Each structure stands twice: as structure tokens, then as C-alpha cells.
Amino acid sequence: MSDGLVALGIQELGLELSPNNIADLELFLQEMSRWNRIHNLTAIEGAIESIRLHLIDSIAVLPIMRQFLDFPCPKIADLGSGGGLPAIPIAILQPAWQVTLIEAIRKKTAFLQHVRGKLRLGNIEVLSERVESVSVVRPAQYDAVISRAFTSLVRLLSLSLPLLKPDGLVFAMKAKRADQELQEVCMDDWRLIADESLYIPSLSVERRLLVLSPVRKLPL
């Protein structure tokens, strides 16, 4: 494992990472940094900041996700994938999970397709579409939806609902405003399954993962 990843505490997350996992995660960060200089994929620059705010932040959700997606080959949609977070790190560490990255901005989907080929990630697909358009052609096809810094919680839930299977889950990665955003959700329509604090080694910021499930109402 690289000294940078060790120094930032990636081992403290309790994940068993193989040498291939480490190599792929580092290659992903290298490619993001290289493309970012030209295409401005993300406002965060520099190796240390990338590891802290991108990689570790993204994979910190995995222990919780594994508890809820403990069945063969779950299908997950990442809404507003941007530069591939959290979807690419998740796909690297969970090769049996099928991950769909939905991103409307072409320069970002070009990068995602590049990374897919570079890392030979056969368990992901990249859709260069708006989430609303994907919902029309793929209704109720996903076991879970995840998103990081894409939109408000209320809008995320609204966009997620058409994509989810009846027992599907939304994993919302949130920070300080999580309580305020939860107050705006109609709990007649959604059930809060879990509200977990995320431990991010070497980073003193608040991170939470909200897990919600739609309340399916019977027709009158």
C-alpha cells in the first residue's frame, strides 16, 4: 500500500484491500488529477486533498452499504456521478455489484468512460443522460441509489423513486445540513432506515450516510 494512503488512515476504515484494489484506486486518482488539469472535473486539487476528500470519503460508506446490500449482484445507480464519486471506488472494491453512473455533462462522462476502460471495470456502465430521462426508460430497475453532493435530499428522493425497485434503498451522503434536509422530507412517503456518522480518518469534518426507503402506498 502506498505511503500516502497509509498516512491518511485508509486502513482504519476496516476494509480488506488487495494489492490490486490499491493499484486501481491510485490509478483512478492519478487519472482524475490528470484530466482535472484540462477538463476541471472537480474543484479539489492535489494528491493529499484528493485522497482525503474523494477516495476515503467515498469508500467510508461501504461497511454500511454492505449490511443492506447483502445479496448477490445488487444493481446500484449513482446519480450525478461527476468525476466518478463514490461510484468508481465502490465498483473497484465491490466487483460483484453492478453500478450505473448517471451524469449529464459530456466531459465528465468522457472521463468516466476512460476510467472504465483504463481500469477494466466490467461491473459499471456510464449513461450520459439526465436522471429524469433514465427514469423513463429504466423504471424500477435498481436495488439502490446513491449520491454524493449532487442535490438536496428532497430532490434526490424525488429523482430516485422512479428508479427504485419496490424494496429499494436510497443512500444519501450528507454533511452538516443533514438534519435540516431531513426536516424537509415527507415521512409519510419515506422511512428513515439508518442515520450513520461516517468516520473519515485524518479529516475533521462531519459526514453522515442517510439510508431511506420509500413507503409504497396501496391504491385506493
What's the pLDDT tens digit per position in 76-94?
Answer: 999 999 889 899 999 999 9
Judged by DSSP in three states, 29 sits in helix
Predicted TM-score (pTM) of the model is 0.89
Looking at 3.30.2130.30, 3.40.190.10, 3.40.50.150, 3.40.50.720, the CATH number of the domain 3-214 comes to: 3.40.50.150
CB neighbour burial string for 187-218, b if at least 16 within 10 angstroms, e if fewer: eeebeeeeebebebeebeeebbbbbbbbeeee
Profile the chain (220 residues) by mean pLDDT over runs of 10 residues.
Answer: 52 76 87 76 60 76 94 96 92 96 94 95 96 95 93 94 96 87 93 89 77 76
| Strand positions, DSSP E, the chain | 75-79, 98-102, 124-127, 142-148, 164-174, 190-197, 208-214
As a whole number of Å, the CA-based R_g of the chain is 17
- What angle do helix axes 106-118 and 19-39 make, rounded to 10 degrees? 150
Other C-beta atoms closer than 10 Å to the C-beta of 52 total 19
Predicted local distance difference test score (pLDDT) of residue 217: 58
* Segment 92-113, tens digit of pLDDT: 999 999 999 999 999 899 999 9
DSSP symbol at 90? H
Domain coordinates of the chain in residue numbers?
3-214
